[in-house]
Amino acid sequence: MLVQNTGLLESGDAIRGTVVRMKVPLVCLVTYRGYAGLAAAGSGTGPAAQERNDLVRSDIDSAAILTEPTLQAWRIPYRLLHDDADRTLVREAFALADRRQQPVAVLLAGPTTP
Partner 1 sequence: MTAVEALGPLARARGDAVVVTTMSAVRPWAELSDHPLDFASADSAMGHAADLALGIALARPRRRVFCVNGDGSMLMTLGTLVTIAAAGASNLLLVVLQNGVYEVTGNQPVPGAGQVDYPAMARAAGFPTARSFADAASYAEALPAVLAAPGPTCISLSVAHGGEQPLSRGAGERAAYLRPSLAESARALRRALAGR
Terminal alpha carbon distance of the chain? 15
What residues between 7 and 26 interact with partner 1 by CB under 8 A? 13-14, 16-18, 21-24
* Closer residue to partner 1 (CB): 23 or 99: 23
Q: Tell me: does residue 58 bind partner 1 (CB under 8 A).
A: no
Q: Tell me: does residue 4 bind partner 1 (CB under 8 A).
A: no
* Closer residue to partner 1 (CB): 13 or 51: 13
Maximum distance among all Cα pairs of the chain, rounded to whole angstroms: 41
In degrees and rounded to multiples of 5, residue 95 shows phi and psi of -65, -40
* Closer residue to partner 1 (CB): 23 or 91: 23
Q: Cα–chain-centroid distance for residue 18? A: 18
In this structure, are residues 91 and 75 in contact, taking their beta carbons and an 8 Å threshold? no
- Interface with partner 1 by CB under 8 A: which residues? 13-14, 16-18, 21-24
